[in-house]
Amino acid sequence: MGSTEMDGFIGCVLAAESITDATTILHGPFACRMFMSLASERYIKRKYETREGDYFFHFSRIPCTSTDKDDYIYGASKKVAMILDILEQDETEFATIVQSPGAALIGDKLKDEVLDKGLDRKTLVIDSSFMSEKFSLGFDSVLTKIAEKLTEPSEKKRMTANIIGLPFTSRGYARLLKEIRRMLSSMGIEVVAAIGAGCSLEEFRRSSSAEYNICIHPEYCRMLSRYYEDVHGIPAITSDMGAPIGYYSMKAFVTKIAERFGADPSIALKELSEDEEDVRMAMESSVGQADYLNYKTFSIEGESSVIYPLADFLIRFLKMYPKSIKVTESDPDFERRIEEMLEKIGCPEALGMEFGAGYTNILFGPGSFVELLEKQGSCAAGIDISMPSRDQIDIAPKSIMGLEGLHQMLDEILNAR
């Protein structure tokens, strides 16, 4: 089987794009820019307007040097300098310059161009393209470098937190963030910045004042959380159950945060318990229907911090059984727990089994792929949890995390035939 994963280069560019009022300059071919530019326009909330003229060419995001063969031979750092001139006129506050795999090979003197223009303070040059590395490596590295550039020591503000490890490529992240903010607020905790999920420069700068970093997926923020801990003394909170998926993991998430902050989780936990009761009642009262999936199979392709809580929920709450597990982004702790879980339930072989091969009742994976498999009759329902997605316009909650996401997911699972 081939691969549909996004790599570190895409992660690197999208990390820089996650800051709402900063700019990313791509030194590379226009075609490399297209995908990222569209993803950024689609998923990060900004005022949308196309922009004509050199380097932008009718898109609003990621001005690009549009390198060609001659540029690869003779170098084209002057194009970057010209883009910097445009951004200066626009009073752009901060720019990250990234390089495509090909452009990174030729070694243009981009830092010298930045230094010559006196823009070192507000411009970050990323030397590596992170090509074919994990998406998380590019994403995490670039956000860490931006944090190094933007944050300064600051006095800690009690009962505040940053959200980290939630890339905006995570489907339905915006609605999920709203829910997390509401849940934290019920415990008296205020969010300073959601780093990597559409924060502003001002929020990023203030992030060093947070008391804790709340980590959603540790895979995407290893270096970033270490930076905040070492430089700003901000510890990271990672739930032992992983991402907040399903009742057990959501409760663990809330409880752990409350413990570390010394906050009262009762309102949030009550809401979760009541909801769980409602859902159980709905399932029990639909005699036979909800039992349909009992002891049927599921397969997941995703991050280890998603797989662990999701599989745990599907097994314990819905009585389903794992068939294939494919870890795309790994955290060693969660990967070990997944192995232990599969061992315990008697199917360690699921970890090496090809995702999507044969029939599986419910598939969780890249949106387009699982939907195609659903249409082809390889599963009863294909649930979109990662890119490449169908690229639909999401109005309803689409994350599988949080309570809203759980409802959405349960609807799809329980009604799948």
Name the CA radius of gyration of the chain, rounded. 22
Tell me the closest approach of the beta carbon of residue 49 to other proteins, in angstroms.
8
- What is the rounded CA–CA span in Å between residue 93 and residue 123? 9
Q: Which residues contact 135 (CB under 8 A, 6 or more apart)?
A: 5, 6, 7, 8, 10, 11, 167, 169, 329
Short-list 64, 75, 70, 81, CA closest to 106:
75
Tell me the closest approach of the beta carbon of residue 71 to other proteins, in angstroms.
8
Tokens representing 302 are: 């995703």
Contacting residues toward other proteins, per CB under 8 A: 1-7, 9-10, 29-32, 34-35, 49-50, 52, 54-55, 57-58, 66-72, 74-76, 78-79, 82, 100-102, 104-109, 111-112, 115-116, 127-129, 131-133, 356, 368-369, 371-373, 375-376, 387-388, 390-391
Instruction: Name which of 88 and 190 has its Cβ closer to other proteins.
Output: 88
Q: Which residues contact 89 (CB under 8 A, 6 or more apart)?
A: none
* 206 to 49, 146, 214, 287, 325: CA distances (angstroms): 28, 13, 15, 53, 39
Residue 256, classified by CB atoms within 10 Å of its CB into exposed (0-12), middle (13-18) or buried (19+), is middle
Instruction: Name which of 135 and 313 has its Cβ closer to other proteins.
Output: 135
Residue pair 377/400 in contact (Cβ under 8 Å)? The answer is no
Residue pair 402/376 in contact (Cβ under 8 Å)? The answer is no
- What is the rounded CA–CA span in Å between residue 372 and residue 399? 20
SS3 384: strand
Instruction: Name which of 154 and 378 has its Cβ closer to other proteins.
Output: 378
Tell me the closest approach of the beta carbon of residue 171 to other proteins, in angstroms.
14
SS3 147: helix
Tell me the closest approach of the beta carbon of residue 310 to other proteins, in angstroms.
21
- Could you tell me how many helices (H) and strands (E) the chain has, helices first? 16, 11
Tell me the closest approach of the beta carbon of residue 345 to other proteins, in angstroms.
27
Tell me the closest approach of the beta carbon of residue 246 to other proteins, in angstroms.
27
Tell me the closest approach of the beta carbon of residue 100 to other proteins, in angstroms.
8
Tokens representing 388 are: 């490449």
Instruction: Name which of 220 and 313 has its Cβ closer to other proteins.
Output: 220
Tell me the closest approach of the beta carbon of residue 284 to other proteins, in angstroms.
36
Tokens representing 169 are: 């490529």
Instruction: Name which of 109 and 336 has its Cβ closer to other proteins.
Output: 109
Instruction: Name which of 55 and 212 has its Cβ closer to other proteins.
Output: 55
- What is the rounded CA–CA span in Å between residue 150 and residue 94? 9
Instruction: Name which of 348 and 388 has its Cβ closer to other proteins.
Output: 388
Tokens representing 349 are: 């072989």
Instruction: Name which of 213 and 386 has its Cβ closer to other proteins.
Output: 386
Instruction: Name which of 32 and 180 has its Cβ closer to other proteins.
Output: 32
Tell me the closest approach of the beta carbon of residue 212 to other proteins, in angstroms.
28
Instruction: Name which of 274 and 391 has its Cβ closer to other proteins.
Output: 391
Please report how the helices 402-414 and 246-261 are oriented relative to each other, as an axis angle in degrees rounded to 10: 170
Tell me the closest approach of the beta carbon of residue 291 to other proteins, in angstroms.
30
Tokens representing 399 are: 């994350």
Beta bridge mates, 327: 302
Tell me the closest approach of the beta carbon of residue 44 to other proteins, in angstroms.
18
Backbone phi and psi for residue 198, each to the nearest 5 degrees, phi listed first: 85, 55
SS3 352: helix
Instruction: Name which of 114 and 189 has its Cβ closer to other proteins.
Output: 114
Please report how the helices 8-17 and 30-43 are oriented relative to each other, as an axis angle in degrees rounded to 10: 50
